Amino acid sequence: MEPFVLTNQSFFTIEKWVSHFSGLVVGMTTKHGGSSKKDFETLNLGFHVGDEKSDVCSNREKVSSLLAFPINDWVGAEQTHGIQLKKVSKFDRGKGSNSYEDSIKDTDGFYTNEEGILLTLCFADCVPLFFIAPESRMIGIAHAGWKGTVGQIAKEMISAWKKEGINPEQILVTIGPSICEKCYIVDKRVINMVENTLEDVETLPYNLINDGQYSLDLREVNRQILLKSGVPDSNILMTGFCSSCDKEFFSHRRDQGKTGRMLSFIGWKENSKHL
């Protein structure tokens, strides 16, 4: 069953999580319902893609209003396709929310167990990974393009949470809208790195389509990494939405690099323990 449900034209929520965990805000935006023009039409939420900053800020204010989560409580990352994670606190609120320049540097994932912080990352084909450990109220989000995927950012998050006293069996993960296997064609160099990452797996997440070209299922690679990291299969949800096939989304590949960004987000509303 598809975990992402369209709440309105501007964003999807992870329905199962939202209905189970009071005060949780979690999901991913679409490309619809904003102010941006031309290549960024209309709900571009990325500052770094060449759009008018005033339009991006307007779009962010709109999403903030829809989510009822103040923009000054958001945190955003530089996103360098690495595997650096940062545990954030209320002290970090507002970093990267209104400008790219003050986003948290060299970071591709966040986690926190504090309320009143919305963890946000931008996407346009890369895989968004959402994490929650309900008993500890720890939440996290990670950006896994092919570099972050083969660098095992998913495993990094599980390892970071182990240090917080959270066992992998306690962690739920949702793999979000991103480019599908049919749309994602890569060369042998990338496949070699995938092979090094995934030794001894039963089902290979790629297929040779012609000489030196492979279709790669990045979502499945992340799922396999999560399984190897000790997360039970029953704890993992995976979307069927493709950012390239489905016109709800911006796609870096489909739009040949000139496009906007969706926002993936997760946060506990203030005082949500008492809701």
Condensed to tens digits (0 to 9), the pLDDT of residues 147-161 reads 999 999 999 999 999
Position 273 scores a pLDDT of: 62
Position 274 scores a pLDDT of: 44
Which residue stretches of the chain have pLDDT < 50? Answer: 274-275
CATH topology of domain 4-179+235-274: CNF1/YfiH-like putative cysteine hydrolases (3.60.140)
- Beta bridge mates, 267: 25, 118
Using DSSP's 3-state secondary structure scheme, residue 91 falls into: helix
Pairing mode, strands 138-144 and 109-112: antiparallel
Position 275 scores a pLDDT of: 43
Position 49 scores a pLDDT of: 97
Of 117, 138, 120, which is closest to residue 128 (Cα–Cα)?
A: 120
Q: Amino acid letter at 27?
A: G
Q: Longest Cα pair distance anywhere in the chain, in angstroms?
A: 58
Q: Amino acid letter at 130?
A: F
Helix (H) or strand (E) holding 263: strand 262-268
pLDDT digits (tens, 9 = 90+) for 173-212: 999 999 999 999 999 999 999 999 998 887 889 999 999 9
Position 202 scores a pLDDT of: 76
Q: How many CA atoms lie within 13 A of 27 on its CB side?
A: 25
Domain boundaries, the chain: 4-179+235-274
User: Residue 141 corresponds to which tokens in the numbers above?
Assistant: 């989000």
User: Residue 144 corresponds to which tokens in the numbers above?
Assistant: 């896994």
